[in-house]
């Protein structure tokens, strides 16, 4: 079932989750344990991130830095199949522009279709520092709207190659990302929302927001979206802060602000109490959002399920 159908048919708000595949060459046991934990909360769908190759700089014995290209983190397709057919939960793989050609994207979408997966989240993806050479005869999607258009074309039976013109039409439900604190490249919020509106007009059916820690920013974002003609569901995305280190890592990585009260409380507490503080803060956010009749709440879990299990025990749905 498509995400938009889950939202339309739900009698009460629900929660969904987002996880990340294991590192290249890693073990899937931790991920399987995480899924075992998450499905107990009856999420109608679970998102799975995708990752392209990236550039890292490693220090050599002489003190110089050497550039290395790390190959992409695999597993998205296999995890989607597992979620869909073992756990009977709809899988929502992230489809990204960064690091993939249109031809690779088409192949990925066809494989998802074979697996009976009906949902995708179309995003541009973070700049990994690595620009893969594009072979002759290949092309790329530069922005998320280009990706949305390609997926919509496949839903309409339009493929990149003439040999596939008589192939089955796809039937993907398309989600996109939204930014309550503005996409970092946009000059202002209105222009950012205009870009989002263009993606909706191109075929996207719902929005999942970037994480935020001040609900007012979400409510303000929803208002400007509505005022700009966006009438699709806007699902708030939340992430529990679990350590002092995340006060430094989250803002530059995801371009979010940490409220002063939350930051001060974590900085002044003992390190072992950080997760407890983060859980209580996110719980209050979730309760206020539910009281304001949000359609659902999306939790960025990745692979650490302990905090979300503690939160879900307290969150009354």
pTM: 0.89
Q: Give the residue ranges of the chain where pLDDT is below 50.
A: 53-72, 128-130
Residue 101 pairs with which residues in a beta bridge?
A: 140
How many domains, in total, are found in the chain? Answer: 1
Look up the CATH number of the domain holding residue 122. Answer: 3.20.20.220
According to the model, what pLDDT value does residue 52 have?
A: 59
Contact 209, 237 (CB under 8 A): yes
- Interatomic CA distance for residues 94 and 84, integer angstroms: 15
Contact 5, 207 (CB under 8 A): no
- Interatomic CA distance for residues 67 and 179, integer angstroms: 32
Contact 301, 38 (CB under 8 A): yes
Contact 159, 165 (CB under 8 A): yes
Contact 76, 50 (CB under 8 A): yes
Contact 14, 43 (CB under 8 A): yes
State the CB neighbour count (10 A cutoff) for residue 137: 7
* Nearby residues of 232 by Cβ (< 8 Å), 6 or more positions away: 4, 200, 204, 205, 206, 207
According to the model, what pLDDT value does residue 57 have?
A: 42
The pLDDT tens digits of the residues spanning 263-288 come to: 999 999 999 999 999 999 999 999 99
Domain assignment of residue 270, given as a range: 3-314
Query: Considering only CA atoms, which of 171, 212, 228, 229 is closest in space to residue 294?
Result: 212
According to the model, what pLDDT value does residue 167 have?
A: 73
For residue 62, count CB atoms less than 10 angstroms from its CB and return exposed for 0-12, middle for 13-18, buried for 19 or more.
exposed
* Nearby residues of 219 by Cβ (< 8 Å), 6 or more positions away: 292
Contact 204, 231 (CB under 8 A): no
According to the model, what pLDDT value does residue 316 have?
A: 83
State the CB neighbour count (10 A cutoff) for residue 4: 17
Contact 202, 264 (CB under 8 A): no
The pLDDT tens digits of the residues spanning 107-159 come to: 999 999 999 999 999 999 865 444 555 665 567 889 999 999 999 999 999 99
């Amino acid at each position: 079932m498509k995400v938009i159908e889950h939202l339309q048919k739900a009698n009460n708000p629900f929660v969904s989750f987002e996880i990340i595949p294991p590192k290249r060459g890693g073990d899937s046991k931790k991920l399987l344990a995480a899924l075992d934990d998450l499905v107990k909360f009856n999420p109608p769908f679970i998102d799975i991130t995708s990752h392209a190759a990236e550039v890292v700089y490693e220090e050599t014995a002489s003190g110089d830095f050497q550039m290395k290209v790390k190959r992409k983190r695999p597993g998205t397709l296999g995890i989607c199949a597992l979620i869909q057919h073992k756990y009977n939960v709809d899988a929502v793989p992230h489809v990204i522009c960064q690091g993939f050609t249109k031809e690779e994207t088409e192949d990925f979408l066809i494989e998802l279709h074979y697996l009976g997966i009906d949902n995708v989240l179309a995003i541009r993806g973070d700049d990994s520092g690595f620009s893969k050479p594009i072979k002759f005869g290949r092309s790329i999607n530069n922005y998320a709207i280009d990706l949305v258009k390609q997926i919509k074309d496949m839903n309409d039976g339009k493929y990149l190659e003439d040999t596939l013109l008589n192939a089955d039409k796809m039937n993907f439900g398309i989600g996109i990302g939204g930014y309550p604190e503005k996409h970092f490249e946009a000059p202002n919020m209105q222009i950012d929302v205009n870009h989002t509106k263009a993606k909706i007009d191109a075929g996207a059916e719902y929005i999942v927001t970037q994480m935020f820690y001040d609900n007012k920013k979400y409510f303000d974002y929803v208002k400007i979206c509505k005022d700009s003609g966006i009438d699709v569901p806007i699902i708030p995305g939340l992430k529990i802060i679990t350590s002092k280190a995340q006060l430094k890592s989250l803002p530059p990585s995801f371009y979010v602000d940490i409220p002063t009260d939350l930051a001060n409380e974590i900085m002044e507490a003992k390190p072992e109490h950080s997760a407890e503080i983060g859980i209580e803060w996110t719980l209050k956010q979730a309760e206020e959002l539910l009281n304001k009749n949000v359609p659902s709440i999306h939790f960025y879990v990745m692979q650490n399920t302990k905090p979300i299990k503690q939160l879900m025990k307290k969150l009354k749905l």
